[in-house]
Amino acid sequence: RASRETPDAGGAMESVATFGEVPDLSDACLVDYLQMAPTADVLEILRDEDPERAFGAKAQAALLRCLRHPVAIAHPPGRPYRERLLKLAVIAAERDGLELDDGVAEAHAEALCEPRTGDQWCHKTFVLDVAPREETTERKQRPVRITVRTHPNLFEGGTGCHEWAAGFALAELVASHAERFANKRVVEIGPGVGVAAIALAKITRPPYFASALTLLDRDNETLANLAANLELNGIPSRILKHKKHDDDDDEREAGDEDDEDDEDDSYDFAIPKTAKVSLSRLDWHDFDPARLASIRADVVVAADVLYDPTDVRALLDVAAALLGPREEAAGVLDEKKKKTRAEKKKNEPL
């Protein structure tokens, strides 16, 4: 299962999170804090630390534990979120007539003094409890940490730069049925911030190793953020640009600026060096079926991509081109947390 929905902090801790650093699922306040759960909910969980539900030493110590966790320091929730939570904590301690911890007061002062930039990008960290079917003690896999850079404002960041519930449903599906992706060429349409894609890359390990993972999206900003999120989760990448009318490949490191003249006539690829994962720009209303067929996808997955009725036919055409006229092809479509598997026989429409 995925933990409940969605990280600089006070204190002197200097350690930073490694790719393998996974928050404890039993620490409810830490999990909710890293996911940027509603501040009132986090405050209530912090109160549970005290037998009398007072916002005293125990509750404040739990808050500092969240603020000082290595993942929270390396990938902190947004400044406005931290400021709001700390303000509520100060008020709660005052209302209960209890002394405010110096660490909490210092963290609140630091949050208030942080520069108010126009950049609202923030980090959210989720923990996916991996429990594939037929799990054995020998093969038991640790929970997987998924950290994404996301934007709270849909008008500025776009729908592809925000996490959605259906993406977590798809990630849970991957975790529960990792064997379905073993030795398969997997394609995800509209990966957004990459929650399901990161799950696919991290969970599909031997003996459930997907032979290749291709991520298709049509928005350049979404793709740039997705490439950054792949690297953020220990999947380093390089950008490979393919011109539609040019057989030569142009490689460049992730983070390099796009060429000004590379607007509508290019496909962008980010291929992690440690896994067979690629990221490509694709307009599903204007694509080359032969190029998609060359991917030879075995499985096509998508989550919450049919919110615009005008995209339905185009997306199904893309899936059909990816799967091709083979004896068997499979697609998984996860729309608003509803999981549906479509199986098709040769020459039947997807």
pLDDT in tens, the chain (350 residues): 344 333 333 332 223 344 556 777 678 999 999 999 999 999 999 999 999 999 999 999 999 999 999 999 999 999 999 999 999 999 999 999 999 999 999 999 999 988 876 667 889 999 887 765 555 444 556 788 999 999 877 766 667 788 889 999 999 998 888 888 888 889 999 999 999 999 888 876 666 667 788 899 988 888 889 999 999 998 766 554 555 544 444 444 444 444 444 444 333 444 443 447 788 888 999 998 998 998 889 999 999 898 899 999 999 999 999 998 765 555 555 554 444 333 333 334 33
Looking at the structure, tell me whether residues 195 and 304 fall in a common domain. Answer: yes
Q: State the amino acid at position 74 in one-letter form.
A: A
In a domain, residue 89? The reply is yes
Q: Is the dihedral of CA 34, 36, 37, 38 positive or negative?
A: positive
- Counting the structural domains of the chain, the total is 2
Looking at the structure, tell me whether residues 105 and 219 fall in a common domain. Answer: no
CA distance 6 to 126: 7
User: What residues contact 13, with CB distance under 8 A and at least 6 apart?
Assistant: 68, 70, 73
Looking at the structure, tell me whether residues 6 and 84 fall in a common domain. Answer: yes
In a domain, residue 143? The reply is no
- The number of beta carbons lying within 10 Å of the beta carbon of residue 177 is 15
Boundaries of domain holding 334: 159-345
Looking at the structure, tell me whether residues 272 and 179 fall in a common domain. Answer: yes
Looking at the structure, tell me whether residues 111 and 178 fall in a common domain. Answer: no
In a domain, residue 75? The reply is yes
In a domain, residue 286? The reply is yes
Looking at the structure, tell me whether residues 48 and 171 fall in a common domain. Answer: no
Looking at the structure, tell me whether residues 195 and 272 fall in a common domain. Answer: yes
In a domain, residue 179? The reply is yes
Looking at the structure, tell me whether residues 165 and 86 fall in a common domain. Answer: no
Looking at the structure, tell me whether residues 309 and 167 fall in a common domain. Answer: yes
Residue that finishes a domain, picked among 128, 146, 179: 128
Q: What predicted TM-score, i.e. pTM, was given to this entire model?
A: 0.75
Looking at the structure, tell me whether residues 116 and 176 fall in a common domain. Answer: no
Looking at the structure, tell me whether residues 98 and 186 fall in a common domain. Answer: no
Inter-CA distances, 198 with 43, 123, 195, 328, Å: 30, 15, 5, 26
In a domain, residue 304? The reply is yes
Looking at the structure, tell me whether residues 165 and 124 fall in a common domain. Answer: no
